[in-house]
Amino acid sequence: MITELDVTDEKLPYDIEMRDRIIAKTYEDYLSTVLAEPAVNTVITWGISDKYSWLSDFKPRPDKASVRPLPFDANMNHKLGWNAIARAFDNTRLRSQ
């Protein structure tokens, strides 16, 4: 199982589009690698929306910008990270039950 998955953005650029691209690539690269292992049958993110991310309180960005570590933004709009996660799942071989 992969649990508590998110991508810390505290050291990424301030620019939201650039940050979201980097985070999405990180999600896709990581999941594409771990999902190649047939024993991995579950992926759980550490929350769904940036609005409720634990990182806001415990690992805020030094520049005070909002953290964006999860697949949905604070308004529940899916971000590039959501697309990257979906692509990683789409490109993974099905697991037998």
Q: How many other C-beta atoms are found inside a 10 Å radius of the C-beta of residue 97? A: 4
For 48-86, what is each residue's pLDDT tens digit?
999 999 999 999 999 999 999 999 999 999 999 999 999
Single pTM value for the model = 0.92
C-alpha to C-alpha distance for 40 and 84, rounded to whole angstroms? 18
19-41 pLDDT, tens digit each: 999 999 999 999 999 999 999 99
Given a contact cutoff of 8 angstroms between Cβ atoms, the answer to whether 67 and 56 are in contact is yes
